[in-house]
Structure 1
Amino acid sequence: MILKKRYPPSSSFASYINTESTHQIYAEASGNPHGIPVVFLHGGPGSSCNNNHRRYFDPSRYYIIAYDQRGCGLSTPNGELKNNTSQYLIDDLERIRQHYNIKQWLVFGGSWGACLGLLYAQAHPEQTSGLILRGTFLARGKDLLWFAQHGASELFPSDWKAFTQEIPRNERHDLVTAFYQRLHHGDHSTQLKYAGIWSRWSNKVATHNLTPSGTNRAADDALIRKVKIETHYAHHRYFIVENQILANIDKLPKVPVTIIHGTLDRTCLLSASQQLAAAIPDSELILLDNTGHLIEEEKMISALVNSTDQYIKKLARTARIRTK
């Protein structure tokens, strides 16, 4: 089997998009302005986009929008938590769509980006032409607890010990709250210490299937801001009600949906993608053996590029059906 590679690097044009508050959203457009519009949703919460993310799409056939979510990456103010909830992120997607004068776009996201993409598609079905989702995160209690309480802990016991040993035993029943308190109410040295502990655990769970490429060299303040955003969302249970996505599955538009999940993904539950696929009629579920969580793994790259190539025909066919 020949694995597909990402498309060559291409140039982009950057914009800052105003919001209802002090937040300004950094966005980049690339590819063919007359092509199929697609929006790339990065993970985290708290991560950002990079130049490789637009390489999953044929730049001659796609009009590619990538952006940094509120408080993330090059969006400003960096690390800002005020007016930073899932609903604000959904509203930002609409601002971005309107800024680029896009009527309807393909939503492409992985991990937290898959969760945000599903929430957006349920809120704005008419603006969604399709969904390509990687490593689905449904933001239920069980999804968070697997990562931060019990589940992945059984797979990496020594790393779990390092993650929990600085938390007093009487607080270990709720590790998300324990880290949240130290990151959001501690002094700078406390924030840096616990941001590092959280980040090392997260990296271990996400990268266990890859050859180590060195330690996380994120600058101190940038690391604190990133983990504060992640724990802000986790502590508030992602600002949605329990099982919101599956409970409102009928609100998704009747559009092509592809769900791709690595069988060695230890960050997001494989069962989440399976349950999502079972709930969406005619969706496509692709399971990749010997593949973990990250978008950079070879088989994941190939599956995602293959899917975006296939969607060129799928969306053209869907558009013809809709206009009949």
Structure 2
Amino acid sequence: DHLVADINALREALGIDGKMHVFGGSWGSTLAMVYAIAHPQNVQSLILRGIFLGTQEDLLYMYQGNAATYEQAPFALSEPGAYVTYPDEWKTFVEVIAPEQRGDMMGAYKAIFDMVPADDAERARQLRAAMAWSVWEGVISNMIPASDDAGKFGEEAFALCFAQIEAHFFANDLFLAPDYIIANLAKIAAIPTHIVHGRFDQVCPLPQASRLVANLEALGAKPATFVMTNAGHSAMERETVLALTAIMDGLPRMAG
């Protein structure tokens, strides 16, 4: 509800009376689709990158993986997950949590984020958890990490905010009904939708985009564009940049 109100306030501030092109990547793709479902009359087209449908299985792929059995078999491919491609980074992420709490990694991390530190040791523990959460996503966002530098994801202030906000939304199912986007897809089926998704995306795996496309097609609404790039999750990888630029350059003027 706050998102819808914020976008409508922005429309008013910019003097937009008619329809607008709505662009979003990753969590932004979720927000873009949720807004379009609420106000399809305001949306001329959707441009979506790195589709995130926000279901529980999507979150488990990234944050749970084989964590529950990691202590006994750290290299076992027992569950699907991003850990398969980034085992060293996964080790750092998993080992923040005690073995007996690894059956619910997101819940265990949130418990750390929610505590009010009583001393320097607890503050250090909270910061370590936030850094591990943030760097995990930052590193796996690129198909080929450019360096050992995690960029903004490795900055303490950013990590503390980023990790706690994400964990809060995930613990509350993104404040959406189960499978909300797919269940309400008919409301946006008439909106021209452009989708760009990295084939090797480990933050938002490709089946999320494929599922969205299949459900649109089942409604007789084939996407205006569906590009699978040879890239990971980041919007800044070359093929994804080129695909998005081509789409944006080809958009018609916003309808008045």
The TM-score bracket by the shorter chain reads: 0.7 to 0.9
**Do residues 258 (structure 1) and 194 (structure 2) align?**
yes
Match of 1:77 in 2: none
Match of 1:292 in 2: 232
Task: Using the TM superposition, give the Cα deviation of residue 90 of structure 1 relative to its aligned residue in structure 2, in angstroms.
Answer: 2.3
Task: Using the TM superposition, give the Cα deviation of residue 201 of structure 1 relative to its aligned residue in structure 2, in angstroms.
Answer: 1.1
Specify which of 154, 159, 171 is matched with residue 84 of structure 2.
Answer: 154
Bigger relative CO (Cα 8 Å, ≥ 6 apart): 2
Match of 2:157 in 1: 221
Specify which of 50, 60, 74 is matched with residue 135 of structure 1.
Answer: 50
Unaligned runs of 5+ in 2: 66-80, 118-122
**Do residues 309 (structure 1) and 245 (structure 2) align?**
no
Could you tell me how far apart the structure 2 residues matched to 1:200 and 1:265 are? Answer: 16
- Corresponding residue pairs, total: 229
1:126–1:253 CA contact under 8 A, matched in 2 = no
Specify which of 158, 167, 175 is matched with residue 97 of structure 2.
Answer: 167
2:134–2:162 CA contact under 8 A, matched in 1 = no
Match of 1:100 in 2: 14
- CA gap of 1:260–1:222, structure 2 versus 1, over 3 A, is closer
- CA gap of 1:122–1:215, structure 2 versus 1, over 3 A, is closer
- Aligned AA for 2:58? D
1:206–1:294 CA contact under 8 A, matched in 2 = yes
Task: Compute the RMSD of aligned alpha carbons.
Answer: 1.8
After superposition, give the CA deviation of every residue in 1:267-317 in whole Å (9 maximum; x if it has no partner). 10201111111222121211112x1111111111110010011112xx57x
Aligned 1:243-254 pairs, distance under 5 A: 243-252=179-188, 254=190
Moved runs in structure 1, 4+ residues, more than 3 A? Answer: 215-219
- CA gap of 1:116–1:148, structure 2 versus 1, over 3 A, is same
**Do residues 198 (structure 1) and 133 (structure 2) align?**
yes
- Aligned AA for 1:94? N
1:192–1:220 CA contact under 8 A, matched in 2 = yes
Task: Using the TM superposition, give the Cα deviation of residue 206 of structure 1 relative to its aligned residue in structure 2, in angstroms.
Answer: 0.7
Could you tell me how far apart the structure 1 residues matched to 2:150 and 2:7 are? Answer: 33
Specify the SS of the correspondent of 1:173.
helix
1:262–1:292 CA contact under 8 A, matched in 2 = yes
Could you tell me how far apart the structure 1 residues matched to 2:5 and 2:115 are? Answer: 29
Specify which of 41, 44, 67 is matched with residue 126 of structure 1.
Answer: 41
- Aligned AA for 1:192? L
- CA gap of 1:305–1:213, structure 2 versus 1, over 3 A, is farther
Bigger mean CA deviation after superposition, 143-152 or 215-224: 215-224
- Aligned AA for 2:137? S
Task: Using the TM superposition, give the Cα deviation of residue 216 of structure 1 relative to its aligned residue in structure 2, in angstroms.
Answer: 3.4
- Aligned AA for 1:171? Q
- Aligned AA for 1:240? L
After superposition, give the CA deviation of every residue in 1:84-133 in whole Å (9 maximum; x if it has no partner). xxx31222111111221212210001000001000000000000110010
Match of 1:56 in 2: none
Specify the SS of the correspondent of 1:277.
helix
Give the % identical residues. Answer: 30
Task: Using the TM superposition, give the Cα deviation of residue 213 of structure 1 relative to its aligned residue in structure 2, in angstroms.
Answer: 6.5
Aligned 1:77-96 pairs, distance under 5 A: 87-96=1-10
Match of 2:72 in 1: none
Task: Using the TM superposition, give the Cα deviation of residue 186 of structure 1 relative to its aligned residue in structure 2, in angstroms.
Answer: 4.4
Specify the SS of the correspondent of 1:267.
coil
Match of 1:231 in 2: 167
1:209–1:264 CA contact under 8 A, matched in 2 = no
Could you tell me how far apart the structure 1 residues matched to 2:177 and 2:144 are? Answer: 32
Specify the SS of the correspondent of 1:207.
coil
- CA gap of 1:228–1:167, structure 2 versus 1, over 3 A, is same
Specify the SS of the correspondent of 1:117.
helix
Task: Using the TM superposition, give the Cα deviation of residue 244 of structure 1 relative to its aligned residue in structure 2, in angstroms.
Answer: 0.6
1:261–1:288 CA contact under 8 A, matched in 2 = yes
Specify the SS of the correspondent of 1:119.
helix
Match of 1:110 in 2: 25
Q: Which is richer in strand?
A: 1
Task: Using the TM superposition, give the Cα deviation of residue 241 of structure 1 relative to its aligned residue in structure 2, in angstroms.
Answer: 1.5
1:121–1:253 CA contact under 8 A, matched in 2 = no
